Chain A
Amino acid sequence: QITLKESGPTLVKPTQTLTLTCSFSGFSLDTSGEAVAWIRQPPGKALEWLAHIYWDNDKRYRTSLKTRLIITKDTSKNQVVLTVTNVDPEDTGTYYCAHIKKWGRAFDFWGQGTLVTVSS
């Protein structure tokens, strides 16, 4: 069974860097076809995909946030890390990591999410 869990700070100040960690089990990110994504939901708004990383280290980023996002993986720890630089209050929201259906495009397993507030 695949499980994922997000961790990171609950409160970040504007202009700081936010680092979120996704710890997962049930699959290996060095297996062909596997991928993990980050998705967020600002309060009262729709879910929005941020980035994902494939088993071969190929990375994709949301165009509007591309200059502020970095996604990396540590296969030895079964973790994926998302870094968001220069945060502002609009980055407030619940951040989810999710497994991408193998060779597919749907998010078939999700973590419960972690709420991040950007405020001074």
Chain B
Amino acid sequence: ETVMTQSPATLSASPGERVTLSCRASQSVSSNLAWYQHKPGQAPRLLIYGASTRASGIPDRFSGSGSRTEFTLTISSLQSEDFAIYYCQENDLWPPGTFGPGTKVDF
């Protein structure tokens, strides 16, 4: 099973800032990587799939990049509604599609 790691575990930022979250896979997953946003008590939300394709309805301030083992999620200008936990998930070895431990973005 591919092991996914994310860094940092917590990222403190302010509205308007550009933030970059990292995700690393223990082996190549090609471009088969997704990003999700999760707020407490809410359903997780798919942001990015195929490493760089925004899901339907996702604002263009969210962008994904990377391939093989190194991936990045960038929020170009952090909005108040973006404070949440972000998970990456590989879906190359499908199933199971291993999730990373998450990065919490807070004030």
Contact = CB atoms under 8 A, between A and B. Distances in A.
A74 interface: no
B41 A112 contact: yes
Interface stretch (B16-24, B66-74, B88-96): B88-96
B32 interface: yes
A63 to B, nearest CB: 8
A108 B43 CA distance: 11
Contacts of B44: 47, 96, 98, 107, 110
Contact of B99 (A47, A110, A113): A47
Classify chain A's interface size: 20 to 34
Interface residues of B, number: 24
Contacts of B91: 105-106
Interface of B: 32, 34, 36, 41-46, 49, 55-56, 87, 89, 91, 94-102
Interface of A: 4, 45-49, 52, 60, 62-63, 96, 98, 101, 104-113
7 nearest CB pairs, A to B: A105-B91, A106-B49, A110-B43, A47-B99, A106-B34, A49-B96, A110-B44
25 contacts: A46-B99, A46-B100, A46-B101, A46-B102, A48-B96, A49-B95, A49-B97, A49-B98, A52-B95, A96-B44, A98-B44, A101-B49, A105-B49, A105-B97, A106-B49, A106-B89, A107-B44, A107-B89, A108-B49, A108-B55, A109-B43, A110-B43, A112-B41, A112-B42, A113-B43
